[in-house]
Structure 1
């Protein structure tokens, strides 16, 4: 029986390997690598999930009077500018099927067909997941949809015979469906790389049950004659992994949310250690090694910075992933509100730096060899042609032909004369630009370039909170800004000609490479050069005059400023603010309120773009609190921020010798990153303005939490070097002692800590910073999938903690020998504050 079983396994695998080799369909070779049928080249692809044909995005389009087709046209154009060549969607089967699994030819299916045709037109291929199991409501209530998923629910769909039969029927009809825009059935679509059977099935039972379920699905798909690879999600229910390995599938799909989901605020701090390695626990399994691997969803959720995506792409390639799609691209028509998936935020217009980071991640996927290992953090922050920097909030790609960056960069490309593509945000050695939108420069011919400049996007609220269509998170402004382009191929003098429709700018000649620019597309032609290209000329996968951007949505001036929590007495205070206005204000200043005297006004200097700054001199930092407002003069009238009816901004003035509070439970508890506990609560204390946060773990394993205190110490950095103790104020709960580890994480990801034994009585517990030793970085928030490592060694060498470098507090309740033996939940703790003294 064993020999027969082994023979059958190898026969089945050999049959799988031959699928598609007679055409350009993808096949999986003996080493688990997807290859194109005709060229045998490795399949690579990178892109996004995008949902306009279905569910909430579809309903919002109808609610706002937006044509879904037009929305798709617009966003797919942006996909082309970001270099995406892959699209994935979990199809809302509940909207396009009935309870028996019959496919319904309705508007949702028609819009999917339309989207796929538009992707094809731009050279974008796709992976389809026919079954989602989801209701169509999120973030609203589910509607009464006709499909089998609504009747049975996900759990029953995996076990109920009638539900299984409906799914098999549905899959057969779905693969046979002919796209009316292409005239080709999905099973024969040359740009459809593979099918993933369903989205995130979570199996129970036995491994053999899982194998039988999957084989029933693949059998119905193979009856259509399709030879495309079939994938199944194997990052869930991994205790049943053998059931996946024994099934008739050619690959496995994975997800990665390294910063968890639903923090409800932007997560701060250096998160590169969180994405250092995508470690698959069954990577050495012989059958798994023969399976292809793709990433159906990933995102650094609740992270607003731009440095992280290329590092994720690098780790994916090291793990053997060939395709990856980010979750999820926000349709532009309602990206101002980020309501579809509020823990994610991605759109070229509204999140330009993040989108450019995703563009670089796509380049990583196409240029980094499969399984290539670049070492461990921090060594792997530079890899191949790529670099990521938390400190600069920067990701960049630098090659002979391409220069792509997400933020201001001092990097000088090796040969500017050889460049053919530049895209970025901010300033570089090639482009200087004061606006906040992304820009793209493409060489069309010698001495002829296409310039695309997108309007400014400014986040006026944290986009990762509790959102609604009535809540504006980001605004768009079409304000003109100076730009300079220093390209040898254009020289000092070149003509700038508008291309896109409704661009009323006049053709102008520039000298010294500098000019004012408004959003739009332009042709730049070197003095003395000529071209037969015009606005309607086709170039690669775009037309030269294409341009998509919403009109200005800025209707009022925003003053974006977060006061420093505490500042040292006897020192001046650097002051920064963003003034977001339709045009440059006539004047801007700080009004400082001094006790018993007239307010003092300080002029704000314009730095660049919307940024202004000033220095508050030390003689104004008197008493206990600095109170101030920001005054803006526009159209001859002055406005106060906060308004006259609101309290002014406040910063507490502290003696240099006083403790530096790095965590205050009463003020900072909502920003504390930690696994959810239903028993956790904030309890007010008798002393006014004080509270304690009670943390009662529910298990016997270590429980950790983290808080980024960068803003808490921003005004007292000069005092940090004089501190030598880390002090915890609080106690243990339930009249039981417990042990905690206090650690400080540096901007560079290094971690130093020490343990403290807490008692039930409220007290202050101190540890000398000289006694703090190298400890592990805990991966917080906890990632999905859950099999990823709990902690990492991110400190390159032993030594003393550098307080000038630290910005994050890590607290862990750790098991003792007694708790290990009892296997009871850890004793809880109450945190009041943590200080440096």
Structure 2
């Protein structure tokens, strides 16, 4: 695709956003939200992030009848309103008129009048009346005149292209599929539309030639490299998963004349900020021209993350992820199509960008722009040319102790616009089960210290408020001032600035600001599960506390013997975080019970039960506490102590990432002294992939479990560990080869093959005998044509301290199973 006037390549990047339809539309009513105001505010944030593209699959079930007539209702009106708000910002859009989806998710669907409701998705692709209804609907949709712009969709210069439908999943013959697509396109062309028309070609790829023969100008793709719906935040280095986006049919001659765009993508269930630029780089290497993330959470819903709980994206509530997405947008405008930067880990620095899993950091450092997602020591070298800073945390140019994003934009020499968003804190795992009554993230408007070290501003710069309702102004002492959420004019001492809040700058107004921060009505204490620790070693315990008022003190009460715990004051570790160190002589073998008390304005509340008072009060209920397993150190050979457990079925089954249908995994209670076990039922034949039935079936069965925290807690003993142990049996088979492997933090994998028999036994392999093996990309990426394995071309030497995950596979070198079988595991450990 090229622009008609300049003939330059179309490059765009943005998001999917769905407030006009389905669940978000209904939730706005329940929360008493003005939808138009919410849309306008969110579009401002999209502009603030530098996005220039919007995509949505329209819920046809809500704006059509059974014969395909377009219904002029509130859903359509709000779509028109959204497009007009985008147009005001100079942004473009890419529309998919047909989704086929019901409108319920995550709730049950409502009754809707559309043709897809009557026929269902599969019949819509084959039923003559359903096909006729879609032709009628597409014709009317493209001819629809947006009342806010006075222009029909087919003629809107900011509407760059159409995609016929969302993920059709064809099952017919190639001839039927080509004929169907051509009928849809013909109905769109009858409107006089000359815009490019795309079709989804990343599903049912055995029909790739049928798509190519249709009258379309391009294909649409998606990417979910970490699967969907893990129900918990994924941990570990996922950069190997996004090293390349490989399209198996893209070199066919028919596709050389087609444009490629990304209609949806996300690293689902990933809460960190390093991954999106790596995905964007791989997309550009694959030749993608535009991409839109799925999906930007409406700010009024983001505190609950209920719209799509496997995704979480919002500038206010997920600032580091949003800045990472901002960097991905920069990549789509800076990195040439088909540019290649090698294979991970060589491709983590490219074209001024850098991604670091270890630092949870993505950044862009150029003479003009400096954008970063986490604390960084990088900085531009030619500060006199710097025009934009967007960041989170500390850098050599900006030191900020809050947890929200900030933006600095140079308006003229000696004058900058500052925007500071409120603190954002995740008080629960946002990828777990969600609901409107459950808060997963909160914001707080706090006065914070800000140091800006720019030669263009110097010392003693003034800070003047711009946004409505903000009267806070001050002058920096040196390079440091106190700031609160809002927008400001920063002016060098002695400089007279003429800028006003109503002045337009690029595609925003200087005084615009949207940073919701409701007063907290409760205290949130978040303390993650701590794996077993070794007796006689000091233990760090961390907690996050967000309270209506800054706590006067946070205290840890711990006891390994008797009922009376001892108090240790927890020390602040930055915004909302506190830490205590249990001295080695208090870490005794057994179970250490402890509580966390938050002191605010003379009142004490103790957790995990959120009860008034302290654990030493006579009437304190001590029936519930945090609990830490303290085990005897494993001193090596001969074994004396507790092994370093990597997989415990009872504790870890819910966190396994696997290639199989989850129903094939079953947690079984033990009988008598036998511990609980994990049973894996293997099919006699791997089922065909419905999206790629002509692909060679993959006979491997694998799961992976993050164990980095378990290993770290036993770090003092790792030098004495010599063997990796698997205890289990082959179930109904006489024997079963399995591969057990340890995944390091750079994606290197070291493993070995063991053979389980029908008797339950502990099988040992010496760590010294582990050899490099392939990483299984778990969770499995979607589309399913993407690589199953990744092999690090430059693995680091094996080091137990670098172990992050354990990978367990039914030996991929073994012949395919010919009979159904079961395999049972009791545990995996180091000794």
Q: TM-score scaled to structure 1, two decimals?
A: 0.94
Q: CA deviation at 1:566?
A: 1.6
Cα distance change on mapping 1:527 and 1:723 into 2, 3 Å:
same
Q: CA deviation at 1:787?
A: 0.6
Q: Secondary structure of the residue that 1:374 maps to in structure 2?
A: coil
Instruction: Verify the 8 A CA contact 1:276 1:312 in the aligned structure 2.
Output: yes
- What is aligned with 2:249? 282
Mapped to 2, the partners of 1:274 and 1:38 lie a distance apart of 39
- What is aligned with 1:31? none
Mapped to 2, the partners of 1:777 and 1:251 lie a distance apart of 33
RMSD across aligned C-alpha pairs, in angstroms?
1.5
- What is aligned with 1:677? 662
Which is further off, 568-577 or 243-252?
568-577
Q: CA deviation at 1:623?
A: 3.0
Q: CA deviation at 1:335?
A: 1.0
Q: CA deviation at 1:362?
A: 0.3
Instruction: Verify the 8 A CA contact 2:712 2:801 in the aligned structure 1.
Output: no
Counterpart of 1:244 (choices 204, 211, 219) is 211
Instruction: Verify the 8 A CA contact 2:403 2:422 in the aligned structure 1.
Output: yes
Counterpart of 2:120 (choices 126, 129, 153) is 153
Is the aligned partner of 1:70 residue 2:37? yes
- What is aligned with 2:691? none
- What is aligned with 1:27? none
Q: CA deviation at 1:182?
A: 0.6
Instruction: Verify the 8 A CA contact 2:705 2:807 in the aligned structure 1.
Output: yes
Q: Secondary structure of the residue that 2:800 maps to in structure 1?
A: coil
Counterpart of 1:756 (choices 750, 754, 757) is 754
- What is aligned with 2:805? 808
Q: CA deviation at 1:555?
A: 1.8
- What is aligned with 2:199? 232
Equivalent positions of 1:247-286 (< 5 A) are 247-286=214-253
Q: CA deviation at 1:719?
A: 1.4
Counterpart of 1:520 (choices 486, 491, 499) is 486
Which is further off, 670-679 or 222-231?
670-679
- What is aligned with 1:578? 544
Is the aligned partner of 1:468 residue 2:435? yes
Q: CA deviation at 1:723?
A: 0.9
- What is aligned with 2:140? 173
Q: Secondary structure of the residue that 2:573 maps to in structure 1?
A: strand
Instruction: Give the aligned length.
Output: 799
Cα distance change on mapping 1:516 and 1:689 into 2, 3 Å:
farther
Instruction: Verify the 8 A CA contact 1:566 1:713 in the aligned structure 2.
Output: no
- What is aligned with 1:723? 721
Q: Secondary structure of the residue that 1:678 maps to in structure 2?
A: helix
Instruction: Verify the 8 A CA contact 1:479 1:583 in the aligned structure 2.
Output: no
Mapped to 1, the partners of 2:548 and 2:32 lie a distance apart of 27
Equivalent positions of 1:472-621 (< 5 A) are 472-505=439-472, 507-596=473-562, 598-621=564-587
- What is aligned with 2:408? 441
Mapped to 2, the partners of 1:54 and 1:176 lie a distance apart of 20
Q: CA deviation at 1:816?
A: 5.9
Q: CA deviation at 1:598?
A: 4.7
Instruction: Verify the 8 A CA contact 2:707 2:806 in the aligned structure 1.
Output: yes
Which is further off, 256-265 or 510-519?
510-519
Equivalent positions of 1:28-47 (< 5 A) are 34-47=1-14
Equivalent positions of 1:670-749 (< 5 A) are 670-674=654-658, 675-687=660-672, 690-698=675-683, 699-700=685-686, 701-749=699-747
Which is further off, 231-240 or 651-660?
651-660
Q: CA deviation at 1:800?
A: 4.8
Which is further off, 517-526 or 319-328?
517-526
Mapped to 2, the partners of 1:594 and 1:671 lie a distance apart of 29
Mapped to 2, the partners of 1:435 and 1:584 lie a distance apart of 13
Counterpart of 1:326 (choices 293, 306, 309) is 293
Instruction: Verify the 8 A CA contact 2:733 2:822 in the aligned structure 1.
Output: no
Q: CA deviation at 1:744?
A: 0.6
- What is aligned with 2:643? 659
Equivalent positions of 1:274-313 (< 5 A) are 274-313=241-280
Q: CA deviation at 1:610?
A: 1.3
Cα distance change on mapping 1:551 and 1:815 into 2, 3 Å:
closer
Mapped to 2, the partners of 1:87 and 1:408 lie a distance apart of 30
Instruction: Verify the 8 A CA contact 2:741 2:806 in the aligned structure 1.
Output: yes
Mapped to 2, the partners of 1:124 and 1:283 lie a distance apart of 29
Cα deviation 1:265-284 (Å, max 9, x = unaligned):
11111000011110001021
- What is aligned with 2:614? none
Mapped to 2, the partners of 1:278 and 1:475 lie a distance apart of 35
Which is further off, 581-590 or 88-97?
581-590
- What is aligned with 2:151? 184
Cα deviation 1:133-158 (Å, max 9, x = unaligned):
11111111222211111111111110
Q: CA deviation at 1:627?
A: 2.1
Instruction: Verify the 8 A CA contact 1:260 1:781 in the aligned structure 2.
Output: yes
Equivalent positions of 1:786-825 (< 5 A) are 786-797=784-795, 800-814=797-811, 819-820=815-816, 823-825=818-820
Q: Secondary structure of the residue that 2:783 maps to in structure 1?
A: coil
Cα distance change on mapping 1:378 and 1:538 into 2, 3 Å:
same
Q: Secondary structure of the residue that 1:468 maps to in structure 2?
A: coil
Q: CA deviation at 1:570?
A: 2.2
Mapped to 1, the partners of 2:339 and 2:672 lie a distance apart of 57
- What is aligned with 1:370? 337
- What is aligned with 2:594? 628
Cα deviation 1:732-760 (Å, max 9, x = unaligned):
12243211111111111111111110011
Q: Secondary structure of the residue that 2:713 maps to in structure 1?
A: coil
Q: TM-score scaled to structure 2, two decimals?
A: 0.94
Cα distance change on mapping 1:718 and 1:687 into 2, 3 Å:
farther
Cα distance change on mapping 1:82 and 1:418 into 2, 3 Å:
same
